[in-house]
Amino acid sequence: MAEVYVKNELSYKAKKTIFHILVYAFLILITISVLIPFYWMLLTSVKTQVMIEQVPPLLFLKPADWEINNYKLLFEVVQSGPRRGQPLFPFFTYMKNTILVSVITTVGTTITTILAAYAFARLRFKGSNLVFVILIATMMIPGEIFILTNFLTVYRLGWYDVFNQTYWDAVLAMTIPFMTSVFYMFYLRQTFKQIPNELYFAAKVDGTTDFQYLWKIMVPVAMPTIVTIIILNSMGAWNAYIWPNMIATRDEYRLVSNGLRGAFTDSSTGRTDFGQQMASAVLVTVPLLILFFVFRKQIMRGVSRSGIKG
Amino acid sequence: METKNNWRAWLYLAPMLILMAVFTFYPLFNAFIISFYKDYQPLLNQRAPGMTLDNYSIVVNNYFFKQALKNTFTLAFISVPISIVLSLFIAVALNSIPRLKAFFQTIFFLPYVTNGIAVGMAFAVIFHRNYGLFNQFLSWFGVAPVDWIGSTATWGKQMTALMIFTIWDSLAFKILVFASGLTNIDKQYYDAARIDSASKWTIFKRITVPLLSPLILYISITSMIGALKAYNSIIALFGESLGGRPRDMITIVAFVYQYRADYANIGFYSYAAAGAIILFMITLAFTGLQTIVSRKRVHY
Amino acid sequence: MEIKMANLTKIFISKDKKEVHAVDHVDLTIPSGKLIGLLGPSGCGKSTTLYLIAGLLRQNEGEIFFADEEVSEMPPEKRGIGLVFQNYALYPHMTVRDNILFPLQNMKVPKQEAMERTQEMAALVGLEEMLNRKPKELSGGQQQRVAIARALVKKPRVLLLDEPLSNLDARLRLQTREEIKRIQRETGITTVFVTHDQEEAMSISDEIVVMKDGVIQQMGHPQEVYDAPVNLFVAKFLGNPQINVFEGEIKKGKIIVLNMEIATTDKPDQKIIVGIRPEGFMVDETKKSAFKFEVNLVETIGRDTTLIIDTPSDDETLLDKHSFKVIVDASYRIMSGDLVHFKVKPDKMHLFDLDGELLK
């Protein structure tokens, strides 16, 4: 009997070890697949054109051989093309636009979201369920449908004028339509609902108005959720592509995503300068990654909740 | 709680509702209307009198719209199941390791927080015919260089490249959601299953997947709807030409934007609207499907 | 199948990084074919012991044997055990039939035989009618029986039950414990039953094991343990109402409590702790006994009367509380305010030293 057991035990432990090795191998394989595009982006951005066109491709490059000229060129003022008089890749202009749009949109969204979430979580009024259901239903509608009319609305509001659009016209057009979010409202309402009623009654006894109660008690208590909403929302502007492309009449009004594509292809030869293109991609990617690593917990928690909600 | 604060509640809702009335509800309604206009010129706000269904028949018979339907559905129906199965395996693998779970999870989440256009361009470099990494990788297995996204690429090759990028891009969210869904499953079921001598595969098939099925269904439908709206990924990989050969990889959304961009041409805006409404109907059908299936199958 | 544990130890690391010996060098032999109640207050290590036997936890030290076979390092699925979880852990998405079939499918039992055995088990626990239902369509007691059927269907060597009755309401609990006893008798399988409810353990078990702080206090037939507790903890843990505990003294062969002589003994003079079961008092109708109290409250339920008596002095003669309970025959017609003389039944009185160990 004892011998049988020893055999069993060995095979069991061996099996477990093999299983763990396989799992780790699988995860490492996925890790490599996830990281390769980032690696290739960075590697290409520090290669010279000659290195880029080398066959077979160079898979590694010693830091000593890194070519930072691609980055330098991005900031040099060009004399022709749509960006005449500007740097080849006006990174700082785009960043400024993106941050401005991001901040304005986020402030607006946060305010409308807090007010609406409070109404749905705390106040009783006729039709609240109906309105709530209608709002939730809009989450199912593809946003592309709205864009057609919103473009016309922005035009009628005078924010899209091909010849005379000012910077602030463009900023307004890029922010005002995006100052609401049903999903964040839903998310915050859930948090508000978890705040015990006793707190509300206690505040009433202390003579606070509803509005004071919201700002002095609800908002501070729900701060972690609000911070998550702020972070997730402000990342949106970094990925916005279609709308800013549509309503910004001048290159210097656009956001980072718009500046990336197309700018590095020589229109006469059709050849793309991949080194510069990847350098600009790195410039756009790095701030987001920094933001992510700083707020990793809030971001991942917020996103995983958004999936669980259904 | 108080009951007499009707008007005050509406005051709190007002900022959101007013903005949504202008930028959500009115546009939804208006898109339907525009799709029935005759000879519409949006900026001039001129049109021929009466309503028509012609826009729909023109769109449905348009070569590029057919191409867009084919591309969109191919992309959605292949990439979504693959990414779901793959992310499920990855989430289960993450859950079964004793160490480094947070580390792997963070890395796997990176694609979610990066600019899609920037990474898509990196993929374009990787898929380059002559000096791309992907062809180099294939050459180790003796595969001759293939044009994936260039002007000589076949439809199948372009679709494959697009598929790889789309799956890479969409895994992050699903892995995170499935992994947190898994941690919510009562550990007792796994203890019970071990006592019942279930193998790892049996546990996955008969415990994990069924218990996760409401989440899997929800994610399937939302990703399906997301995939039906593919656009940024095509721009990222192929540029504004929408394909190695122009418009080879056109999608429904891309179709809508193309016709929208040509608003100066009489009636084109209505074609765009008709395309958008058709997309809306398709997503509506998927949402309906989710409701029916979730009532029938996944609940226990 | 006899279960033997030798020097079994499980250490947990608590949040403040301290080592907690959940199971502390336990030596225990569970005889074959018996139903054993593992009993103790919460946190005493009884569930940990059960999980160690199951293999869901791995011991830090010591060995476990099933008969002659050492299973200490064996994974749970190889040990051949059936386990009923506290919350049953029925798979919510499977029907009752699938739940019971599940272990058999994993053991690759031929389909025909598996179906037959499932049917047989359903009959044993009386659920033939419910086979096509999902767990949430069953009552708590029925779910519990499915869990037992699932544990037994694979013909385990050992059946382990983790607080199986704690999620049932009082009436169902009585019914189900009879049911468990019947099933155990019919199958003759060695069964370990964890509970914090002494009454439950005493009524159902062939033998009980009382645990405290990861250490086994006493093992034996329930009535024997009740009648002859080895220490104050066991004496207090078993019995409802609890045993009455007094500070006392032995002086020249007399046992003195509250300055009253209650009995005689041959033990040497010393300070002691006296435990007297509520039913250990006899009313001395001759009123000669020196052991007398004024009754504060009287509760008569059926044939028993419970007398609640406040101790006359303020000093902490009565450990923990200021009143104690006496159960006498209802025929005495005692009213509150009455002065009652008592004699003590010697076999219902236990003497302990000041550390709580039985006086030798």
If asked whether residues B214 and B78 sit together in one domain, one would say yes
- Average pLDDT over chain C reads 88
Please, which residues 270-289 of chain B have a Cβ atom closer than 8 Å to chain A?
272-273, 276-277, 279-280, 283-284, 287
* Nearest CB partner across the interface for B195, out of C83, C91, C134: C83
Choose the closest CB to C81 out of B188, B189, B195: B195
Neighbours of B172 (CB within 10 A): 22
Which chain C residues in 73-92 lie under 8 Å from chain A, judged by CB atoms? 73-75, 78
- The set of chains that have 3 or more CB pairs under 8 A with B is A, C
Which other chains touch chain C, taking contact as 3+ CB pairs less than 8 Å apart?
Answer: A, B
Q: Does B8 touch chain A (CB under 8 A)?
A: yes
CB pair distance less than 8 Å for C102 and B206:
yes
Contacting partners of chain A (3+ CB pairs under 8 A): B, C
Contacts with C, A 7-26, CB within 8 Å: 8-9, 12
**pLDDT recorded at residue A310:** 36
Give the three-state DSSP class for C239: coil
The C-alpha of A19 sits at a distance from chain C's nearest C-alpha, in angstroms, of 15
CB atoms within 10 A of CB C141: 17
User: DSSP assignment of chain A, as one string?
Assistant: -HHHHHHHHHHHHHHHHHHHHHHHHHHHHHHHHHHHHHHHHHHHHTS-HHHHT-SSPP----GGG--THHHHHHTSBPSSSTTTTSBSS-HHHHHHHHHHHHHHHHHHHHHHHHHHHHHHHH---TTHHHHHHHHHHHTTS-THHHHHHHHHHHHHTT---TTT--HHHHHHHHHGGGS--HHHHHHHHHHHHHS-HHHHHHHHHTT--HHHHIIIIIHHHTHHHHHHHHHHHHHHHHH--HHHHHH--SGGG--HHHHHSSTTB-TTT--B-HHHHHHHHHHHHHHHHHHHHHTHHHHHHHHHHHHHT-
Q: What is the pLDDT of residues C177-232, one digit of tens each?
A: 888 899 899 889 999 999 999 888 998 999 999 999 999 999 999 999 999 999 99
Q: Does residue B3 register a pLDDT over 60?
A: no
Instruction: Decide if B181 is inside a domain.
Output: yes
C-alpha to C-alpha distance for B48 and A289, rounded to whole angstroms? 52
C73 vs A contacts (CB less than 8 Å): 5, 9, 12
Place of tokens 């020249």: C252
Task: Name the residue among A142, A148, A277 with its Cβ closest to that of B260.
Answer: A148
Shortest Cα–Cα distance, C83 to chain B (Å) = 7
Output C324 or C116, whichever has higher pLDDT: C116
Please name the member of B188, B199, B206 whose beta carbon is closest to the beta carbon of C87. Answer: B188
- Chain-chain contact of A1 with C75 (C-beta, under 8 angstroms): no
Cβ atoms < 10 Å from Cβ of A22: 11
Q: What is the CA radius of gyration of chain C?
A: 24
- For the record, the structure tokens of A249 come out as 């009449």
Residue B1: which pLDDT band, with cuts at 50, 70 and 90? very low
Q: Which residue has the tokens 């059926």?
A: C302
Chain C residue closest to B195 (CA)? C77
Does residue B189 sit in the same domain as residue B217?
Answer: yes
Q: What is the reported pLDDT for C313?
A: 59
Q: Is B30 in the same domain as B157?
A: no
Rounded Cα distance, C37 and C57, in Å: 20
B36 lies in the same domain as B128: no
Spatial separation of the C-alpha atoms in residues B153 and B158, rounded to whole Å:
6
Residues of C with CB below 8 A from A12's CB?
73-75, 78
* C-beta neighbour count of A123 within 10 angstroms: 20
Q: Does B73 touch chain A (CB under 8 A)?
A: no
Asked if pLDDT for residue B300 goes beyond 70, the answer is no
User: What's the confidence (pLDDT) of residue C287?
Assistant: 84
DSSP letter for C86, please.
Answer: T
Q: With beta carbons under 8 A apart, name residues in chain C contacting A14.
A: none
Give dist(CA B122, CA B219) in Å, integer: 27
Residues of C in contact with B191 (CB under 8 A): 56, 76, 83, 85, 89
Three-state secondary-structure class, residue C185: helix
Looking at residue C160, the DSSP 8-state letter turns out to be E
Chunked mean pLDDT (size 10), chain A, 310 residues: 42 82 95 96 91 84 87 84 79 91 96 94 87 89 89 92 90 94 91 85 78 86 90 85 88 85 66 86 91 90 68
Q: Residue B267: what are its φ and ψ, rounded to 5°?
A: 85, -15
C91 and B213 within 8 Å at the Cβ level: the answer is no
Q: Does position C64 have pLDDT exceeding 90, yes or no?
A: yes
3-state helix/strand/coil string of C31-77: CCCCEEEEECCCCCCHHHHHHHHHCCCCCCEEEEEECCEECCCCCHH
Nearest to C51 by CA among C33, C36, C64: C64
Quick one: pLDDT at residue C176?
Answer: 85
Directed axis angle between helix B101-109 and helix A2-45, to 10°? 30
Question: Is the CB of B9 less than 8 angstroms away from the CB of A177?
Answer: no
Q: Give yes or no: residues B119 and B161 share one domain.
A: yes
d(CA B179, CA B219): 13
Pairing assessment for the beta strands B46-51 and B37-41 based on DSSP bridges: antiparallel
Which residues lie below 8 Å from residue B207, measured CB to CB, with a gap of 6+?
B185, B189, B190, B193, B198, C91
At residue B298, the pLDDT reads 53
**Per-residue pLDDT, C265:** 85
- Confidence band of B287 (pLDDT split at 50, 70, 90): confident
How far is the C-alpha of B83 from the C-alpha of B223, rounded, in Å?
9
SS3 C251: strand
- Report yes or no: C49 and C211 within 8 Å, Cβ to Cβ: yes
Region B260-278: what's the mean pLDDT?
91
Residue given tokens 């002691």 in the structure block: C272
Q: What is the 3-state secondary structure (H, E, C) of chain B?
A: CCCCCHHHHHHHHHHHHHHHHHHHHHHHHHHHHHHCEEEEECCCCEEEEEECCHHHHHHHHCHHHHHHHHHHHHHHHHHHHHHHHHHHHHHHHHHHCCCCHHHHHHHHHHHHHCCHHHHHHHHHHHCCCCCCHHHHHHHCCCCCCCCCCCCCCCHHHHHHHHHHHHHHHHHHHHHHHHHHHHHCCCHHHHHHHHHCCCCHHHHHHHHHHHHHHHHHHHHHHHHHHHHHCCCHHHHHHHHHHCCCCCCCCCCHHHHHHHHHHCCCCCCHHHHHHHHHHHHHHHHHHHHHHHHHHHHHHHCC
Tokens of C199: 């009454």
Average pLDDT over residues B132-142: 91
Among chain C residues, CA nearest to A5 = C70
CA distance A255 to A93: 8
How is domain C3-237 classified at the CATH fold level?
Answer: Rossmann fold (3.40.50)
For residue C154, what is the DSSP state? T
Return the SS3 of C234: helix
Contact A40 B133 (CB under 8 A): yes
Residue C6's region, left for phi above 0, alpha for psi from -120 to 50, else beta, is: beta
At B134, list the tokens. 């992907």
B231 touches chain A (CB under 8 A): yes
Among chain C, residues having any CB pair with chain B shorter than 8 Å are 54, 56, 75-78, 81-83, 85, 87, 89, 91-94, 102-103, 105-107, 134, 136, 150-151, 154
User: Are B62 and B76 within one domain?
Assistant: yes
Asked if A12's CB is within 8 angstroms of C70's CB, the reply is no
Q: Is the dihedral of CA B111, B112, B115, B117 positive or negative?
A: positive
Q: How far out from the chain centre does Cα A149 lie?
A: 25
* Virtual torsion, Cα A163, A168, A172, A173, nearest 10 deg: 20
Q: What angle do CA B164, B167, B168 make, to 5 degrees?
A: 80
Burial class of residue B54, CB neighbours in 10 A (0-12, 13-18, 19+): middle
Cβ contact C159:C81 at 8 Å: yes
* Residue A163: Cβ-neighbour burial (10 angstroms; 0-12, 13-18, 19+): exposed
- Residues of chain C positioned with their CB less than 8 A from the CB of B213: 93
Q: Which two tokens stand for residue C52?
A: 């160690």
Chain C residues touching A4 at Cβ < 8 A: 69
| Residue B41 domain boundaries | 6-54
Structural contact between residues C233 and C212, judged by C-beta atoms closer than 8 angstroms? yes
- Residues of chain B neighbouring C76 (CB-CB closer than 8 A): 191, 194-195
Are C56 and B206 in contact (CB < 8 Å)? no
Question: Closest to A40 (Cβ–Cβ): which among B20, B122, B181?
Answer: B122
User: Which of A266-275, B214-223, C309-318 is predicted least confidently?
Assistant: C309-318
- Check whether residue B48 and residue B76 sit in a common domain: no
CATH 1.10.10.10 fits A90-274+281-308, yes or no: no
Question: Quick one: B93 and B32 in the same domain?
Answer: no
Q: Are A20 and B122 in contact (CB < 8 Å)?
A: no
Q: How many domains does chain B have?
A: 2
Alpha-carbon span B120 to B162, nearest angstrom: 9
Task: Test A289 with B113 for CB contact under 8 angstroms.
Answer: yes
Report the pLDDT value the prediction gives residue C246, as an integer from 0 to 100: 86
Domain residues of chain A, as ranges? Answer: 2-70, 90-274+281-308
Option in B191, B196, B300 nearest C102 (CB): B196
The residue count for chain C: 360
Query: What is the 8-class DSSP label of residue C178?
Result: H
Give the integer Cα–Cα distance in Å for C60 and C356. Answer: 30
Residue in chain A closest to C71 (alpha carbons) equals: A5
How far does A169 lie from chain B, in Å, by closest CA? Answer: 17
Tell whether C186 lies on the interface with A, counting CB pairs under 8 A.
no
The answer to whether the CB atoms of A152 and B97 lie below 8 A apart is: no
CB contact under 8 A, C69 and A12: no
Q: Residue B188: its chain C contacts at CB < 8 A?
A: 85, 87, 89
Identity of residue C217: Q
The pLDDT value recorded for residue C318 is 54
pLDDT of residue A7: 43
Question: CA of C83: which chain B residue's CA is closest?
Answer: B195
C256 Cβ contact list (under 8 Å, min separation 6) = C248, C249, C250, C262
B-C contacts at Cβ under 8 angstroms: 65
Q: For residues C291 and C313, what is the distance between their CA atoms, to the nearest angstrom?
A: 14
Q: What is the mean pLDDT of residues B63-89?
A: 95
> Does residue B159 share a domain with residue B67?
yes
Judge if B147 and B278 occupy the same domain: yes
Domain definitions of chain C by residue range:
3-237, 244-352
Is residue B215 within 8 Å of A305, Cβ to Cβ?
A: no
CA distance A92 to chain B (A): 16
Output the pLDDT for position C310: 82
With a pLDDT cut of 70, the percent of chain C lying above it is 97
**B186 contacts C91? CB cut-off 8 A:** no
Q: Element (H or E) spanning C261, and its range?
A: strand C260-264
Minimum Cα–Cα distance from B229: chain A residue = A142
The hierarchical CATH code for the domain C244-352 is 2.40.50.140
Interface mutation target, options A7, A8, A19, chain C, most CBs of C under 10 Å: A8
Kindly report which listed range (A242-256, A257-271, B91-105, C131-145) carries the lowest average pLDDT score.
Answer: A257-271
